[in-house]
Every structure is written in C-alpha cells, then in structure tokens.
Amino acid sequence: MRKIFLMGLAAILSALLLANWPQPAMAHDPHDVVQQIELSPDYAQDQTLFLLVRGSFLKSTDGGQHWRRQVRGLTHRGALTAFALSPQSPEQLYLVANGDGVYRSDDAGETWQPAAQGLAETALTQIATARDRVFVAGESGQLYRSVDGAPWSVAYTAAAPISAMAVSPDQPEQVLLGDRDGRIYQPAHSGQTWLSAATLDSPITQIAFPRDAADAQTVYVGTASAGVFRSRDGGQTFSAVNQGLSDLNVQDIAAVDERDRVRLYAATATEGVFYSDDGGDRWQPLSLGLTRTDQADRMGHPHFTQLSLSPAFEQDGVLFVSGFNGLFKTADRGQSWTEVSTLPVNIVIGLALSPSYGDDQTLAVVNYVGEAYLSQDAGATWEPMAQGLAQPYFTGRLAAVDPNEDERRFQDVAFSPSYPTDQTIFATLLQNGVLRYQQGRWRLHRLQQWERALTLVPSPSYASDRTLFLGTQKGRIYRSTDGGRSYDPVGQIEAQAGNESPYLVISPNFAADQTLYMTGPAGVYQTTDAGQTWQPVTDAAQFQTKGSFRLAISPDYAQDQMLLLATSAGLYQTVDAGRSWQAVTGLAAEAAPYVEAVAISPNYAVDQTFFVSLRGQGLMKTTDRGQTFEPVGDATLPFAIVTNFEAATMPLVISPSFATDQTLYGLGAVSSEIFRSTDVGVTWETLPLPNSPIFEAYRQRQYGPLMRAQLWLHVYRSRLLKWGIAAIAALASYGLLSYLPLEKRLPLSRRQIKLGGTVAVFAIALAVLLYG
C-alpha cells in the first residue's frame, strides 16, 4: 500500500511538471522607441543607415546589423529631435536638438559642429533640406532658413507651432509647411512672403512630395485624426483619400512615382503600414510581422511613426518603418516585415573591477537584461555568470512574462572589498532586488517593499562589519549588515524623477566617520550616522537647473574632504566635505559642459589625477587636482550611459592598481563591448563580450531537462513542501490505522479503513495547508 501511494504521488508530481511547463516565447526588450530612420543616398552600395533611437544618434554601415553611437561634437543638453541628409552631398547631415539648435556633419555623422548662428530660438523639432538650403522650426511657430551655409534668418512665422514641413525633391523652391491647427502654408514671391493655402480639420503630421514625380504639383498630407489628403495643384486645394485606411492617425507618408503611377505607404499610429498603388484612391494594410506593445498605449505614444524608402526602392523593394517597439524592415515592398535590432538586450550597463585587480586581473560586467560575465584575464576572455539568472528564479512562475516586466534588468555591480577571500559580487536590479554571487551562483534578495534598486556600495570594512548600502529611485536608503542577505530601510531623501539614477559613494574612512553621500533631484545629500539621517549639502538654487548628477569621492577623503560632482552643466568640486562647491573651470571652451563621467585615481594623494568625460568632446585628464586639463584618447568613444537608460555605474572605471598598470575601463557602446586603456587613457581598445549560448537559451526559454526540473522545484517549492507535509501526515495515519482495530467497529475491511483513512487525512491536510 505504501509503495502504491508513493508511486501515485510521484506520478502526480511528474504530470504537474509536464503540464505546467510553458512553450518558449519570443520577447522584445528593451523597447527601442525609434524616432527616425534615414538611408544614405548610396544605400545600395554602402548599406549605411542613420537612426535616432531613445535620444541617441546611431550609424550602421552594414544595413543595420551593427550600430555605433555618433557622439563627437554633439555637446547638446536637450533631446535630439530630428535630422536630415543633404540632397547635394551624401556626407552632409543636419541634426536638431531641443534647446541646443542645429548641428552639422560633413563626414557622414562621424563628427559634428554647431551651426546655430542667427537662430533666435534653440528648441527645435523640425528640419527639412533642399539643394542649397535648410529649414528648421520649433515650438514658437517660426520657420528659419539657411542658404549655402549662411547664418539663419526667419523666413516665416506661422499662427501655430509648425508640425510638418517638406521640400519637393525635384523643385527645391517648392516648400510646404503644416501646423498643429491644420493650416498649410506655401511660399510666394521666391519665398519672401508666405500664404496660408489651405486648412484641414486635424493637426498636420506629415507632408510628402512623390519622389521622381512626373507631376510636380501632386502632394500628400497626413493628419492626426483625419487620414490622408491629396492635392493636385501644388497645395492650393486638398481632398481626403482614405478608402481602406482604417486608422486615420497618420504619422508618415512615403511616396514614389513608378512608371507614371504613384505608390504610397502610410505609417499609422496604431495599425501599422498601409499601401496604395493608385495614388491614394484605395489603401490596403501591409503589417505582417510588425509588432506592438501596450506600453505605448499606457504612455500615450504612437506604435509606428516614420517611414524611409530605399533610394533604389524600385529595384530592391526596401522600406523601413520605425516605432515604439523598434525598427522594422521589408525587402518585398511591405509584404512582410522583420525586426532590425538597434538597442540589444546585451548592452553593457555596469562594470566593476576586483579590489585586487593588480593581482587577479578580474572584472565583472552586467548587461541590460539578464546577462553577466566575469573575466580573469583583464577582458581577454569571458565566462558567463549564468547560474541563478533564468527568469523563473525572479518571477516565481514558469510562464513567460511581458518583456516590460522582466525583472532581470541590471543597474549596478560591485565587488566585495574582501573578494580575494570571499569571492563575492553584488548587483542591483531595476525591479526590486539585489543579487549576490557566490560559489558560481546568483542568489536573489528582495527588499521589504517594491523599489527600483539602483545604486549599491559596500563598506570599506566589509570583512568585519558585513555592511552594504543601497540607494533607490524613490530616495530610500537600505542597509545590510549580514553580507547582503537582507536589507532594512534606514534613511530617506527626495525621490528621483524619470530615468535618473542616484549615485551613492561611501567614505574610505567609513569605520570612523560613518559618512556617505548620495545624489538626489536637488543635488547631493550627506549622512554622518551610517545612513539614518541625511542633509542636503548643495544649494538647491545653485543646482536645481542642472541634472544627470554623478558623484565620485576622493580615496584620500579623510585628509582632503574632496568630492567631484558631474552635472549636465559643468563639473563641481568640494574640498570641505560638501559645505561649499566650486565649478571646475578649464574643462572646455564653453563654461559649463555636459559631464558624463568622472573617475579619480586611487593614488590621488600622490598623482593628483582624475579623468572627466565630456559629452561630445571626449576624455579630459588633470594631474594637478583640476587646475589644468588636457584631452586624451579617442573622442569618438562614448564614455557615457546610453541615453534614457537607468544605470548607477560610473561609465569610467580606474584600476585599483592604476599607479603601476595605468589601466582604465569604459562603457557606453550600443553593443556588447567595453573599452580599455593601459596607457593612462591615451589609446583605447575595444573588448567585445561573447554572445553566450546559455543566455540565448534563457532568452528563448529553452532549458535542458535538469534545468527544467530545477526551475520547477524552485517555482513549486512552497506547494511541494505542503504536499510533503500532507503526505507525511497521510503516512503517519496509515501507520496508526494499521494498529487500531477499527474493522471491529466499522462495517469495513481493514484494508478499506487504511486506504480510506490515509486518503482522507492526505486530502484534509492538503486542503488546510493550501487554502486554510
């Protein structure tokens, strides 16, 4: 009987394992949120693409297989909003930024220079180019024009903010504007005056002249709620052409005149791409392969935004569409679409060096979602730190989750100060958790309430006090005194806004002074009682207009009381523990450059050296405590967290044995790679990380039998414990019933009493444990 019972229980558990294992699910994460895509005029030969995605300007020279951030000369503080290629020169591009004006590149985006002379406003959102002229517009309704590179001048002032503009590719003097009130404007008298030519019933979202048009008078207009309109008289009159267009929120239109027939593509906010082969008279959907996410709806963003035709479209049929969920490409004129990766999940988001790096050459990196690697030879080779990173360990369920809810988004990584002996590494997660890596496996530790756990520092005396501190986006500070197994809230500052990450630094003399500093929305906060109470040490009036705070503390803090604060408007230094802050001058030609990273030499008391990464200008080095600076390294390398990504790791990290090895590491690429210099930052090499098959299998939720069993046991361990207790109770009752002569009092056989009693006890015990 006992054997039968145990065999039955095992069969039930096996059935549950098979029944509860979900099929693999594809996921797209992170959302690329592609703003704009443009193709090189020679795309068929050079395969060059330009892209605006989540605020970063990227370039690909292999058709979108690999991307590089283009940063040299882009010193902007505001968001990059739009760009355009010059029709005269394939090497010339123009880029506008909200608050920074216009930038121009003459080498296909490799380097940039400001081109804002004459602009009365810098909050720009629209740009269009003709043969020898460029037009830009912003929120004021003013249209600016530059001819042959001359300073900008006001060409026209519209009645509402300009929301669309277009220049005929065949007749550059033919320009049309659209505004948010639905008005269409066109120039008269060679552009000296402008006329309001027509008014539609919806804000204008796009204006398109057919490429290679036989009839230069045909123009198409997209609107936010009334669909597509067509004009056959150069924009004087318009008629709606929406038959078959089921989504009237039109974000973009691409038009090409092929064999005297206008082919049109329209990108709509929700339903995707529509196609017309008769100039707009009839439309049909072409959205096979396009994907959407409900996050776009929750955030009020369109799912699809912009179209870009290949210059050789008639031959290659290539078209791109951008949107909230990424970039998509068709090579068959829209019959099917495939996703083109732009911001992969394995972007490096965190980097840390072993405290004994000089001896063990060990460093760890964490990628944006679910990947971590360890190198023990200074980055020459890497091994995946995979154990414990399968998704069910975080979600507590076997079913796939929405990629927006993937809890394995890394934020920071740190070595134990006692790493040579305890071999421990810590990492923080965006979604309420801290990971501890020991004995080849990650273990997850949750906080008491849901938090975005961003920044973590261990005590310099970790070997004796077992203490770590954690800062969250809500401004709460947690402390662990048991080596990271549990965390308790101890302090509070103001909550961060948006995707800003707090930076937390600890005094090297913490055992004596109990001091930490943390950045918040108003500047820097200090505690001198191990995190229990915090006070601001920066003047809110001085720093309230600045942002993107990143903090570094001197390794000689006990003597020099020095910290450096990187901001979006300059570098600041204190030499009195935060009581006063002074701007560090001489970094750049402008007074307050955007500082993206700062790193202080561990031998600062002797070498007086620190490094500063300036947006668009590269790396600067000082060897006299910030009195003077010199540029070092390659200014095309981005030592900066990728725009609009949360991360609390400093993008520039100095070797603990810098005095002898002269080594620095950096991160900031939109691919799985880091940068290393072994000559004080003068030259840099790129170190690619492997695309480990185990992480690819994790992404596809393809686990081997042993891993499946481990995950199943992890997910159902609580239930299994309760089933086990119920089974023990049942077995105990079976033994008890074997000794009680109940068959003499009941009209049942001894076998029936033992079987029935055992089943009843098991069922009752299980019901109480599961539902009681």
**Reported confidence tier of residue 24, pLDDT bands at 50, 70, 90:** very low
Mean pLDDT of 396-409: 81
Based on the fold, state whether residues 724 and 700 are members of the same structural domain.
no
Based on the fold, state whether residues 697 and 733 are members of the same structural domain.
no
Based on the fold, state whether residues 702 and 726 are members of the same structural domain.
no
Based on the fold, state whether residues 661 and 746 are members of the same structural domain.
no
Task: Using the predicted structure, report yes or no on whether residue 364 has a pLDDT greater than 70.
Answer: yes
Residue 681 lies in a domain: yes
Mean pLDDT of 479-508: 93
**pLDDT-above-70 percentage for the chain:** 93
Q: What are phi and psi of 343, to 5 degrees?
A: -120, 90
Q: Which residue has the higher pLDDT, 753 or 455?
A: 455
Based on the fold, state whether residues 594 and 729 are members of the same structural domain.
no
Per-residue pLDDT tens digits for 416-439: 999 999 999 999 998 889 999 999
Q: Is residue 365 within a helix (H) or strand (E), and if so which, with residue range? A: strand 363-367
Q: What is the 3-state secondary structure (H, E, C) of 487-537?
A: CEEEEECCCCCCCCCCCEEECCCHHHHCCEEEEECCEEEEECCCCCCCEEC
In terms of DSSP bridges, do strands 49-53 and 410-415 run parallel, antiparallel, or are they unpaired? Answer: unpaired
- Kindly state the tokens that stand for 524: 């820097």
The pLDDT score that the predictor gives to residue 750 is 66
The pLDDT score that the predictor gives to residue 653 is 98
Mean pLDDT of 280-290: 96
**Reported confidence tier of residue 101, pLDDT bands at 50, 70, 90:** very high
Residue 711 lies in a domain: no
The pLDDT score that the predictor gives to residue 704 is 86
Residue 300 lies in a domain: no
159, 276, 300: which is closest to 228 by C-alpha? 276
Name the residue range of residue 739's domain. 2-20+716-771
Task: Using the predicted structure, report yes or no on whether residue 66 has a pLDDT greater than 80.
Answer: yes
**Reported confidence tier of residue 410, pLDDT bands at 50, 70, 90:** very high
Task: Using the predicted structure, report yes or no on whether residue 182 has a pLDDT greater than 50.
Answer: yes
Task: Using the predicted structure, report yes or no on whether residue 655 has a pLDDT greater than 90.
Answer: yes
Q: Distance between alpha carbon 163 and the CA centroid of its chain, in Å?
A: 27
pTM of the complete model: 0.90
Q: Which residue has the higher pLDDT, 190 or 678?
A: 678
Dist CA 233 CA 236 (whole Å): 6
The pLDDT score that the predictor gives to residue 755 is 78
Based on the fold, state whether residues 662 and 738 are members of the same structural domain.
no
Based on the fold, state whether residues 462 and 502 are members of the same structural domain.
yes
The pLDDT score that the predictor gives to residue 23 is 43
Domain boundary among 653, 682, 706: 706
Burial, 685: exposed, middle or buried (Cβ in 10 Å; 0-12, 13-18, 19+)? exposed
In order, the DSSP letters of 413-472 are EEE-TTHHHH--EEEEETTTEEEEEETTEEEEE--SS---EEEEEE-TTHHHH--EEEEE
**Reported confidence tier of residue 742, pLDDT bands at 50, 70, 90:** low
Domain boundary among 674, 706, 738: 706
Instruction: Domain count for the chain, please give it.
Output: 2
Dist CA 417 CA 414 (whole Å): 9
**pLDDT-above-90 percentage for the chain:** 68
The pLDDT score that the predictor gives to residue 14 is 47
Peptide bond into 30 cis (omega under 30): yes
Residue 627 lies in a domain: yes
Per-residue pLDDT tens digits for 42-62: 999 999 999 999 999 999 999
Q: Is residue 126 within a helix (H) or strand (E), and if so which, with residue range? A: strand 124-129
Mean pLDDT of 123-150: 91
Based on the fold, state whether residues 381 and 528 are members of the same structural domain.
yes
What CATH number corresponds to the domain at position 689? 2.130.10.10
Please answer whether residues 22 and 399 qualify as being in contact, where contact means their C-beta atoms are separated by less than 8 angstroms.
yes
Contacting residues for 724 by C-beta, under 8 A, at least 6 apart: none
- Kindly state the tokens that stand for 498: 């948006």
Mean pLDDT of 279-298: 93
Q: Which of 1-5, 563-567, 670-674 has the lowest mean pLDDT?
A: 1-5
Query: How many Cα neighbours within 13 Å face the side chain of 8?
Result: 9
Based on the fold, state whether residues 446 and 570 are members of the same structural domain.
yes
Most confident stretch, 32-36, 585-589, 596-600:
596-600
Residue 41 lies in a domain: no
Contacting residues for 528 by C-beta, under 8 A, at least 6 apart: 513, 514, 515
Instruction: Give the three-class secondary structure for 133.
Output: strand
Please answer whether residues 621 and 681 qualify as being in contact, where contact means their C-beta atoms are separated by less than 8 angstroms.
yes
Q: What are phi and psi of 382, to 5 degrees?
A: -135, 145
Mean pLDDT of 522-535: 96
Mean confidence (pLDDT) of the chain: 90
Based on the fold, state whether residues 543 and 656 are members of the same structural domain.
yes
Task: Using the predicted structure, report yes or no on whether residue 522 has a pLDDT greater than 50.
Answer: yes
The pLDDT score that the predictor gives to residue 737 is 66
Q: Distance between alpha carbon 576 and the CA centroid of its chain, in Å?
A: 36
Task: Using the predicted structure, report yes or no on whether residue 413 has a pLDDT greater than 50.
Answer: yes
Based on the fold, state whether residues 567 and 648 are members of the same structural domain.
yes
Domain boundary among 649, 672, 706: 706
646, 722, 723, 22: which is closest to 392 by C-alpha? 22
- Radius of gyration of the chain from its Cα atoms, rounded to whole angstroms: 31
Task: Using the predicted structure, report yes or no on whether residue 381 has a pLDDT greater than 60.
Answer: yes
**Reported confidence tier of residue 467, pLDDT bands at 50, 70, 90:** very high
Per-residue pLDDT tens digits for 692-707: 999 888 888 888 888 8
The pLDDT score that the predictor gives to residue 11 is 46
Residue 356 lies in a domain: yes
- Kindly state the tokens that stand for 96: 């506008």
Please answer whether residues 596 and 70 qualify as being in contact, where contact means their C-beta atoms are separated by less than 8 angstroms.
no
The pLDDT score that the predictor gives to residue 30 is 56
Q: Which residue has the higher pLDDT, 258 or 33?
A: 33
In order, the DSSP letters of 161-208 are -EEEEEE-SS-TT-EEEEETTSEEEEEETTTTEEEEEEE-SS-EEEEE
Query: How many helices (H) and strands (E) are present in the chain, helices listed first?
Result: 17, 56
Based on the fold, state whether residues 657 and 731 are members of the same structural domain.
no
Instruction: Give the three-class secondary structure for 398.
Output: coil
Residue 243 lies in a domain: no
The pLDDT score that the predictor gives to residue 220 is 96
Residue 733 lies in a domain: yes
Q: Distance between alpha carbon 72 and the CA centroid of its chain, in Å?
A: 21
Mean pLDDT of 105-128: 94
